[in-house]
Amino acid sequence: MRRDLVLNVRGLCKRFGGLQALQEVGMSIERGQIYGLIGPNGAGKTTFFNVVTGLVRPDTGTFELDGRAYEPTSVHRVAAAGIARTFQNIRLFADMTALENVMVGRHVRTHCGALASVLRTSAVRAEEEQIRQRSHDLLRYVGIDRLGHLQARTLSYGDQRRLEIARALATDPKLLALDEPAAGMNATEKIELRRLLERIRTDGITILLIEHDVKLIMGLCDQVTVLDEGRIIKEGSPAQVQHDPAVIEAYLGRAHASA
Amino acid sequence: MGSSLDTFFQQVFNGLVLGSLYALIALGYTMVYGIVNLINFAHGDVLMVGALTAFSAITLTQALAPGIPGWALMLMGMLAAIPVCVLLSLLIERVAYRPLRNAPRLAPLITAIGVSILLQTLAMLIWGRNYLTFPQLLSSEPIAIGPATATVTKLLVIVLSAIIMVALLLLVQYTRLGRAMRATAENARVAALMGVNPNGVIAATFAIGAALAAIAGVMYASLYSVAHFYMGFIPGLKAFTAAVLGGIGNIPGAMLGGVLLGLIEALGAGYIDQISNGVFGSNYQDVFAFIVLCAVLILRPSGLLGERVADRS
Amino acid sequence: MSSAPRSTEEHRRAALRATALLALVLLVLPLAAQWLGPAWVRTLAFAALYVMLALGLNIVVGFAGLLDLGYIAFYAVGAYTYALLASPHLTENFPSISQAFPGGLHVPIWASIPLGAAIAAGFGVLLGAPVLKLRGDYLAIVTLGFGEIVRIFLNNLNEPINLTNGPQGITLIDPVRIGQLRFDHTISVLGLQLTSLQLYYYLFTALAVLCVLVCVRLQNSRIGRAWMAIREDEIAAKAMGINVRNIKLLAFGLGATFGGVSGSMFAAFQGFVSPESFSLMESVIVLSMIVLGGLGHIPGVILGAVMLSVFPEFLRYSVGPLQTQLFGRTVVDTEVLRMLLYGVALVVIMLYRPKGLWPAPQHGVAPRSTPPSAARSQADA
């Protein structure tokens, strides 16, 4: 059975000096899935993200995006190929407005250069209008269109997370990789986030999610991979993973706190 | 062939002299960068203030008490220069750098440039814009060291620098202050939790660097018999190159980098002069240091012995 | 919710009025200044030149966040290119060239300016390519070193072939010529007798206005946003698909181009170039202009450039004579005062007003009156 895989990673290993951060990690994400990556702190989840998106070079591993092999060596090329990410610590362009942040996201799918911009050709004006319109639509999509003209740094924490998602969506990704999007959110905000992610999935974008909130993961994800100390200890549906003794031990047996 | 070997030794000796000076100055850059992640752009100008202060002290003493021997004058010059430079450096750190410790990276650098200009202006106001002749304090009789010719001043540079560097290594390795410096350089927050006063340690670092710069300034002025308001720029830049060459933040690295840069410069300038038949002569000497700088930063930015920079997480 | 935006029509009319007023002032200024003395017109002309330089450096430092301390090298390249193409130097020192150009080398400005700009841009790309990946402070030092290298070469390339005439520099550079009109003479325009200085002022101001236009369009473009993104957070910018290296190179090259054009104009204006004019201090001066005015904010940059080019001249004409009156002689050389001014500007601004005298207006503060989730459910409804 040929699966329609958006992301296919095999045999990923990464060592940092004396620490084996990732050991033989693989992941197969089918199109239209919401895929969860969980594990105790320090398990290597963000490192996995960093490798897949090209921020960190792996020691070994094969990578396929949408059936095509890629070398995760150049962050901007990975983004152009179709993986967009958010960051655990929210990396917005703080002094730019929310709208401008999303407009930057459109950069990779647009192409007017310096000369054209200086001459303000009709092509440039049309493209700028498109960028502005699309960015505004994305702000509305995530629910912060009233805040478009405000500096990103002045937005509330939850709104900043939404903005980061809007900006990532602006790159028209095939895979949306979210690093702890629910961190610091209250229960209401988490419900809204869940609705947003489901809407994104319905609109055809595959999602990879690092999260600590077990309830959110279990309610949202189709498949889950559990990472502990760089190794996969369980892969499967949320139900399977939830009751797996190894998983429980990894979280509770060594008294790791979850968010 | 004998004479070209002689030339080689002479260049090596010259390189060691230059390199010792660069090492002394580089230590100031590297220690400060290691502890506060700042290129102290004004460090070269502190050297200049030291040289000019010594100049004034020496010429004044010579006028008042003409019989005093040269070595005593030089010692007195250094003793005058050191406290001035130390106080100046502490003032600069307190007023211009400390408030910007958490500012975005470029802000302290821009301020440092401003401070550098202010120091030059200050020097121009006090000592004028002309080149001042630094008095010849030690005998200029040539001394043969193997095939190379040296003078007392040149030997003094090498010996004094070596002594100072050893003393600094001992201080950093075995004293309480040295341990505090190393700890703050690695992780200031944790060091503070262990009872280290980061402001005090940082001030001490600047002070030590300034003292070294003062001594280097006096020796530099003695070597070249000249002192003026702009004299700190080129040695400062070269010493920074040396610090990066050895690995910024790395104290043995600065020493190694300084000596190495001195050798590269002396040998390089000498041989390029020969190879190009005088086309690219000693007036291109400064370019060597810049080329080394660019090469190191582009090809091996962590330097020869590796960086030791503060953890900013 | 923040205040409702003024209608675009109101905005447009206000902007038009302001522009018209400004244009009037700029046109009349040299005529008024001439009354005070030709030295003032010269100051205004230099102010326009510095505005161009400052705008160019602003692209590199203000827009893209790259600290370039060797910016003056591009100015030098532009100046020397123009000098070589429009002076007797090459024909006097290279018989082959004097044979090829028996009437002398007098490349017209419509060729020499673009050439100067292109060569400067080429230097920019050449320098930028290996160094733009360096972190901020290292980049600053490397660019500083590069600026010095250029100056040293300009100072020494009089042997074995005399390319730059060493420390003596190149003289007898052609003035700007438009058609038959040479800018080193007084020309009659619309009944007015415009002196050479005034003509240069108008030319430089026109060029400066062009530069402003280019900068404004770039700032509000896809490229301008990319620069700002890189300045804010390089990693996030990469993650959004921005080819950071190329975009940085673009900033560097464009900044160099501005420098090259200004340099050519400087050479034509002054009639003479020498390595002295292109020292580190000049780079620092331009930097202090944009830092003082407001890094990244075009009106602020212009303000800083005008302030720091006019004020020292003002000092020279007031403090100089004042000192002679008070002390009988010049206690403090105005050159020293000038340097002092730049140093103080840098330090004081960084400590007390790091965004400059006229920073970009902050976009509004988020309303705190309604709790975030309530505001959002209003928006979703």
Beta bridge partners of A84: A176
CA angle C265, C271, C274 (to 5 degrees): 90
For residue C313, what are the contacts with CB-CB under 8 A and spacing of at least 6?
Answer: C39, C40, C43
Question: Which of A123-132, B283-292, C55-64 is the least confident region?
Answer: B283-292
Is residue A179 within 8 Å of residue A49, measured between CB atoms? yes
* Confidence category of residue B278, pLDDT binned at 50, 70, 90: low
* Confidence category of residue A257, pLDDT binned at 50, 70, 90: very low
Smallest CA–CA separation between A167 and chain C, in Å?
8
What is the Cα–Cα distance from C192 to C358, expressed in whole angstroms?
36
CB nearest A114 (choices: C218, C235, C379):
C218
pLDDT at B313 over 70: no
- Position C333 scores a pLDDT of 78
b/e map A86-95, b = 16+ CB within 10 Å: bbeebbbbeb
- Segment A61-109, tens digit of pLDDT: 999 999 899 988 899 999 999 999 999 999 999 999 999 999 999 999 9
Give percent above pLDDT 70 in chain B.
96
Question: Tokens 């930015």, residue?
Answer: B301
Based on DSSP, count helices (H) and strands (E) in chain C, helices before strands: 15, 4
- Position B298 scores a pLDDT of 83
Length of chain A: 259
Residues in chain C, pLDDT under 70:
1-6, 328-330, 363-381
* Residues of chain A positioned with their CB less than 8 A from the CB of C226: 104, 107
CA dihedral C162, C167, C171, C174 (to 10 degrees): 80
What is the Cα–Cα distance from B74 to B83, expressed in whole angstroms?
15
- ipTM topping 0.85: yes
Task: With CB atoms and an 8 Å threshold, state whether A93 touches C241.
Answer: no
Pair type for strands A34-38 and A223-228: parallel
Is residue A36 within 8 Å of residue A238, measured between CB atoms? yes
What is the Cα–Cα distance from A63 to B243, expressed in whole angstroms?
41
What is the Cα–Cα distance from A41 to A33, expressed in whole angstroms?
24
b/e map B234-263, b = 16+ CB within 10 Å: ebbbbbbbbbbbbbbbbbbbbbbbbbbbbb
pLDDT at A200 over 50: yes
Q: Which of residues 50-69 of B touch C (CB under 8 A)?
A: none
CB nearest A85 (choices: C217, C226, C239):
C239
Is residue C356 within 8 Å of residue C292, measured between CB atoms? yes
- C35 vs B63, higher pLDDT: B63
**Mean pLDDT computed over every residue of chain C:** 87
Question: Helix (H, G, I), strand (E, B), or coil: what is residue B295?
Answer: helix
b/e map C141-180, b = 16+ CB within 10 Å: bbbbbbbbbbbbbbbbbeeeeebbbbeebbeebbbbeeee
- A4 vs C103, higher pLDDT: A4
- H-helix or E-strand spanning residue A7: strand A5-16
Task: Enter the pTM of the model.
Answer: 0.90
Query: Which of the residues C68, C346, C352, C353 would you substitute to probe the B interface, choosing the one with the greatest number of B C-beta atoms within 10 Å?
Result: C346
Task: Identify the CA nearest to A178 among candidates A149, A220, A120.
Answer: A220
pLDDT at B277 over 80: no
What is the Cα–Cα distance from A126 to A129, expressed in whole angstroms?
5
The neighbours of chain C, by the rule of 3 or more Cβ pairs under 8 Å, are A, B
- Position B147 scores a pLDDT of 81
- Position C4 scores a pLDDT of 57
- B300 vs A200, higher pLDDT: A200
CA dihedral A212, A216, A221, A227 (to 10 degrees): 10
Rounded to an integer, the average pLDDT of B257-282 is 80
* Confidence category of residue B279, pLDDT binned at 50, 70, 90: low
Task: With CB atoms and an 8 Å threshold, state whether A107 touches C241.
Answer: yes
What is the Cα–Cα distance from C96 to C87, expressed in whole angstroms?
16
Pair type for strands A223-228 and A231-236: antiparallel
Beta bridge partners of C170: C273
Rounded to an integer, the average pLDDT of A151-179 is 94
Query: Which of the residues B106, B115, B229 would you substitute to probe the C interface, choosing the one with the greatest number of C C-beta atoms within 10 Å?
Result: B106
Beta bridge partners of A226: A38, A234
